Chain A
Amino acid sequence: MTIRDPLAPESAPAESAGAVAVQKPPGPGGPPARPGRLRGRSKGHQVTWRQALRKDWRLYTFLVLPVVFLIIFRYVPMLGNVIAFRRFRPGGSMFGDEWVGLYYVEMFINDPTFWRVFTNTLILGGLTLIIVFPLPVILALLLNELRSRKFKRFVQTVTYLPHFMSIVIVAGVVLQLTSLNGTINQILAGVGMDQISFMQDPSWFRPIYVSSEIWQTVGWGTILYLAALTTIDDQLYEAARIDGANRWSQTWHITLPGIRPTMVVLLILNIGQFMAVGFEKILLLYNPLIYSTADVISTYLYRVGIQSGSYSYSTAIGLFEALIGLTLVLSANAISRRVVGSSLW
Chain B
Amino acid sequence: MVTTDPIQASPDLAAVRRSSTTVKDTRGYKAFSAANIVVLTIICGLTLYPFVNLVAKAFSSEGFIVSGQVNLIPRGFNTTTFLAVMSDDMFWINYKNTVVYTVVATAIAIALTTTFAYAISRTYLKGRQFFIGLAVFTMFFNGGLIPNYLLINELGFKNTIWAIVVPNAISVFNLLIMKSFFENFPTELEEAAAIDGLSTYGVFFRIVIPLSKAVLATMILFYAVAFWNSWFSAFLYLDRAELYPVTVYLRNLLAAATGTEGLGSDGAQIAANVQSVTMVLTVLPIICLYPFIQKYFVSGVMLGSVKG
Contacts and interface: CB of A to CB of B under 8 A. Distances in A.
Interface in A110-165: 139, 142-143, 145-147, 151, 154-155, 157-162, 164-165
Interface in A68-127: 69-70, 72-81, 83, 88, 94
Contacts of A246: 1-3, 26
Interface string A226-268: 0110000011011001101111100000000000011001000
B146 A7 contact: no
B256 to A, nearest CB: 12
B187 A23 contact: yes
Interface residues of A, number: 128
Given A176-B275, A235-B14, A289 B308 contact: no
Interface of B: 1-5, 8, 13-14, 17-18, 20, 26, 29, 32-33, 36-37, 39-40, 43-44, 46-51, 53-54, 57, 65-69, 71, 111-113, 115-116, 118-120, 122-127, 129, 131-136, 138-151, 153-154, 166-167, 169-170, 176-177, 179-180, 187-188, 191, 194-197, 199-201, 204, 225, 228-232, 236, 247, 250-251, 254, 257-260, 263, 265, 268-269, 272, 275-276, 279, 282-283, 286-287, 290-291, 294, 297-298, 301-302, 304-308
Contacts of B229: 164-169
A223 B146 contact: no
Contacts of A296: none
A66 B115 contact: yes
A289 B263 contact: yes
Contacts of B257: 175
A164 B285 CA distance: 11
A224 B196 contact: no
21 contacts: A4-B307, A62-B119, A63-B115, A65-B112, A67-B131, A74-B142, A76-B143, A77-B148, A146-B36, A147-B20, A147-B33, A157-B291, A166-B228, A168-B231, A181-B67, A183-B49, A183-B53, A215-B50, A244-B2, A280-B231, A284-B254
A338 interface: no
Q: Top 8 A-B pairs ranked by shortest CB distance? A: A77-B143, A80-B147, A166-B229, A66-B116, A318-B144, A52-B126, A181-B68, A1-B308
B44 A164 contact: no
B71 A186 contact: yes
B72 to A, nearest CB: 9
Given A76-B151, A183-B53, A172 B187 contact: no
Contacts of B123: 15-16, 18-19
Given A181-B272, A244-B2, A78 B259 contact: no
B149 A238 contact: no
Contacts of B36: 142, 145-146
A302 B235 CA distance: 12
Contact of A59 (B122, B197, B291): B122
A172 to B, nearest CB: 5
Contact of B301 (A5, A66, A223): A223
B1 A69 contact: no
Contact of A2 (B111, B153, B269, B305): B305
Interface of A: 1-7, 12, 15-16, 18-19, 22-23, 26, 30-31, 33-34, 37, 40-41, 47, 49, 52, 56, 58-60, 62-63, 65-67, 69-70, 72-81, 83, 88, 94, 139, 142-143, 145-147, 151, 154-155, 157-162, 164-169, 171-173, 175-177, 179-183, 185-186, 189, 199-200, 215, 219, 223-224, 227-228, 234-235, 237-238, 241-242, 244-248, 261-262, 265, 272, 280, 283-284, 287-289, 298, 301-302, 305-306, 311, 314-315, 318-319, 321-322, 325-326, 329
A164 B272 contact: no
Nearest to A242: B8
Given A215-B50, A237-B17, A326 B228 contact: no
A22 B36 CA distance: 50
Given A81-B147, A301-B145, A199 B258 contact: yes
Given A173-B279, A289-B263, A22 B140 contact: no
A306 B118 CA distance: 38
A272 to B, nearest CB: 6
Given A145-B36, A189-B68, A247-B32, 17 more contacts: A7-B136, A18-B123, A58-B199, A62-B116, A66-B113, A66-B170, A69-B166, A74-B138, A159-B44, A164-B229, A168-B251, A172-B254, A179-B265, A219-B47, A241-B5, A305-B146, A306-B146
Given A165-B229, A176-B57, A30 B195 contact: yes
Given A1-B308, A171-B254, A235-B14, A94 B147 contact: yes
A59 B60 CA distance: 59
Contacts of A215: 46-47, 50
Nearest to B138: A74
Contact of A155 (B20, B44, B166): B44
Nearest to B143: A77
